[in-house]
Structure 1
Amino acid sequence: MESELDQVLDLVGHGGYNVVILLVSSTIHLAATLDLLSFCVTAPAASCDLQLGMAEISLLTSIPFAGYVSALPWGYYADMHGRRRAILVSASVGSILGIMTSFASSFTMMLVLKFLGCTFSTACITLTITYLGECTCSKYRTKYMFILNCFNLGSDLVCYALAYFILRMEFNVDIPWLAISYRPWRLFTLSMSLMLGAGAVMMFFLHESPKFLANKGDVDQALHVLKTAYGVKEGTEELVTNSLLFADKKLDSTKTTFWNSVVQQTVPIFQPPLLIHTVQLFFLLSVCCSTNNVFFMWFPTMVNSFFNSIASDDSSFCDRITSNITTTIENNVVCDSTISNATIFSGMAFSTFFTIVNYGTSLISNYRKSVLIITLTIAGLSTVIVDLIYQPIISILLFILIQLAGVSGGNVCSYFNDVYPTTYRGLGTSLGSMTARISSMIGVYIVGSTIVDHCRITFFAWSIFVFVGVAAAWSLPAEKKKLNPSTDPS
């Protein structure tokens, strides 16, 4: 059935509506990613108003990743009730809870609201991948996945740019009935939430994925969407209709209970013939995301320590960064809601570089397997060599190149659209993303715990993790082959 639905999109072709879908999906994807990552800036800036210590700041910074525990119910909801509806609900409620977070009067209130908000907003990150993939013909699908990942990587640039304009402001408005003072960091948090809400409004004017509609047996509605939105070309309407009807005949319309439905949606992902692809893609996505996220989270601390190092000029990378890093937590926190220009500009430059690299890879998206292998190999080699080079500029460039693995996140995600039938695709992509984020959280903790006393070993061990990912990437099918399982459960 999957091949018939792909054939329908290929017959319809590519047009202006596909560009609109890309724009809307990218906007929501960007806003959701900002909601996830922006607390790295918000939490320290809010330390004065909410009397936050280092422990509280660390918890607030990491709590957004916990929102991925909702991946299973959101994936199930998307597979049962539609991608568009799931995105609308998650983006709208996530935006509302984000707005409420900007008015939090205490650490506990902010922590709870941020966790609840991210259980909704983070769902948009994976749901937009599924929605965009299902609404795009095979010729442009991989390229669009790369472009979507550009917005993911570019979120850091947008975050720091907004911080530059907003957090440098000086205003303090007392709101007695909320027992808060409205300061720049609250406006910064509010701006992120409003962006997600704007994305939800844009999604409201789009149609459901025609592949989802056809997969659920609503052939008439799927055909209506293809005619009114995509614009079925003259002479192809009969072929499109026949393909949809043929796919509809292959559907199993047997009614099941709720729990049987959950089992039917979940178990096939972890059974042959999908099992081997599930393990492979989950692991590859974990390698790409965690390698990027872990070293991105430590990037400001390590780079700042590197350039302020008290070590000699001929010292290694590890010698330089560990000379200033300490595991001791300071009890006193300096109350300052601003952020330095050096931090902002370095963050913007870093994000710009990887956004450009990611867009460059989108131009050669037809060679996604080769791009994946090359980027992971460069990241792995950089992880090995970074502490073996005693030239400061080269070692810092190698440290940056470690995070090149993140460029292939969208690359791996494009395989999810090939591997999983429409019935399981939303859940499969959500679970894969959840696994990747959990591995990122674990990685951040491991690196933070070992970097001071076992710096070189930490980098060497991580390189093994990346090179296993290279081996897994080698076993992916060649670019010209379809990555469909031998038996289609749909």
Structure 2
Amino acid sequence: MCKMGLKERNHKSFDNEKSKSLDAGNIEEALTATGFGRYNFGLLLICSWTLQAMGMDLFGTSFVVAAAVCDLQLTMQQRALLTAMPLVGVVAGAQLWGYISDTKGRRLTLVLSMSVGFVFAALSSFAPDWKTMAVLKLISSTFTSASNSGAYTLLGESCPERARGRSMLLCTCSLMCSQAVVAVFAYPILPLKFVYWIDFLSITYRPWRLLALVMSLPCAATACLLQLFHESPKFLVSRGKTEQALEVLKKIYAVNTGNSPSNFPITKLLVDDDHTVSREDSFVKAMWEQTVALFRPFFLMCALSMGILSVYFVELYPTHLRGMASCLSVMLGRSSAFLGVNAIGALISANCEATFYGWSLLLLTAIAFSWYLPRDKKPAE
């Protein structure tokens, strides 16, 4: 009897100590307590669709331009310039969207950028000439490119650590599939034979214009669907809004588990060194400090690629720099792509065989560099 009573008291004491330890916790412990469920799956789908919508806006231009050559009377040089405009837009907007994402919020960045990007992408389908279309595509891609900073960071900062890497890798797959999705839409639309004259615009509306309009619709859809989700709790903590972050965590917990938000085991968030409150500096000073802080040797190497390496940005950099890190990596990647496209065209004309040998060498070099990437962090038990 005494042993049983002592065992029960020890068990109750352990439970009390365990519940007390969960009363307060840092943001990672709080995210772990929310679990991984319906909210995270929904956010994974929306962030994936957002990146796919951006990819359709960027890469779908090549399909539209190929079909519009005769209608717009494009020369080879004009065609190349028009196709490259989305890449220029990514480079032009990368640093600005990184700053906005790190200071104003991931969700706000995505909603604003995808909404405005949709407007200009849709207007490009009514462009009377290639110059107007180039300007409209430049503006639309400048806005939709914000997905590089917003989607990855919003998803990664709303998931528990054990599921973060897998979620972001799945999100990356959708971006890789965006060109295939464009082809799925282009296959039935471009062979259509309709021709409509729009007098007040002085344009002939053909299937390629319809394709350009259809490819802009995912931007509007994702902007609307993002209204169903919350701001990144890590971002809120980094801005000193711990109470608001706790409310978001409770709502995520309720959706994932089906329990009442009041049952969330953590009642107070502790702020660690990685989530300190950012200072309110001037725009120029803040942009400079955020950019300079990223130029370490794991970052210059990572900036040569994109996509899968975005997983590392969530782990390697503090919350207030992650949006800028993602954007700068993409900016460098797209700059390389812009230069590479033009270089490959010249090399193929001069020496086709050497071009493919050089490309193979670059791929092998990337494999060698990948061995030196930092090890993944072990998930918390």
Deviation at 1:102, TM superposition (A): 0.6
**Secondary structure of 2:301 counterpart:** helix
* Partner Cα distance (1:248, 1:237) in 2: 28
> Does 2:283 align with 1:258?
yes
TM-score by length of 2: 0.86
> Does 2:79 align with 1:54?
no
Deviation at 1:12, TM superposition (A): 1.6
Task: Output the amino acid matched with 1:257.
Answer: S
* Partner Cα distance (2:150, 2:275) in 1: 26
Task: Output the amino acid matched with 1:15.
Answer: G
Contact 1:11 1:236 in 2 (8 A): no
- Equivalent position of 2:313 in the other structure: 416
My pick for the range that moved more, 248-257 or 442-451, is: 248-257
- Equivalent position of 2:301 in the other structure: 280
Candidates 336, 344, 348, aligned match of 1:447: 344
Task: Output the amino acid matched with 1:449.
Answer: A
- Equivalent position of 1:15 in the other structure: 37
* Partner Cα distance (1:33, 1:481) in 2: 32
Equivalent runs, 1:105-144 vs 2, <5 Å = 105-144=128-167
* Partner Cα distance (1:262, 1:480) in 2: 29
**Secondary structure of 1:415 counterpart:** helix
- Equivalent position of 2:243 in the other structure: 220
Contact 1:98 1:117 in 2 (8 A): yes
Note the aligned Cα RMSD (angstroms). 2.3
Contact 1:12 1:236 in 2 (8 A): no
- Name the CA shift for 1:411/1:257 in 2 (closer, same or farther; >3 Å): closer
- Choose 1 or 2 for highest CA Rg: 2
* Partner Cα distance (2:162, 2:364) in 1: 30
Deviation at 1:253, TM superposition (A): 6.0
Contact 2:235 2:319 in 1 (8 A): yes
- Any idea what the Cα deviations from partners look like across 1:249-273, whole Å, max 9, x if unmatched? 9734654333332233222112xxx
* Partner Cα distance (1:173, 1:262) in 2: 47
Equivalent runs, 1:285-434 vs 2, <5 Å = 285=305, 409-434=306-331
Q: Could you tell me which runs of 5 or more consecutive residues in structure 1 were left unpaired when the two chains were aligned.
A: 286-408, 483-490
Identity within the alignment, %: 36
Task: Output the amino acid matched with 1:172.
Answer: V
Task: Output the amino acid matched with 2:117.
Answer: G
Candidates 477, 484, 487, aligned match of 2:374: 477
Contact 1:130 1:426 in 2 (8 A): yes
Contact 1:75 1:427 in 2 (8 A): yes
Deviation at 1:125, TM superposition (A): 3.5
- Any idea what the Cα deviations from partners look like across 1:205-244, whole Å, max 9, x if unmatched? 21111111111110111111111233287799676333x2
Contact 1:10 1:137 in 2 (8 A): yes
- Equivalent position of 2:266 in the other structure: 240
- Equivalent position of 2:13 in the other structure: none
TM-score by length of 1: 0.67
Deviation at 1:425, TM superposition (A): 0.1
- Equivalent position of 2:15 in the other structure: none
> Does 2:205 align with 1:187?
no
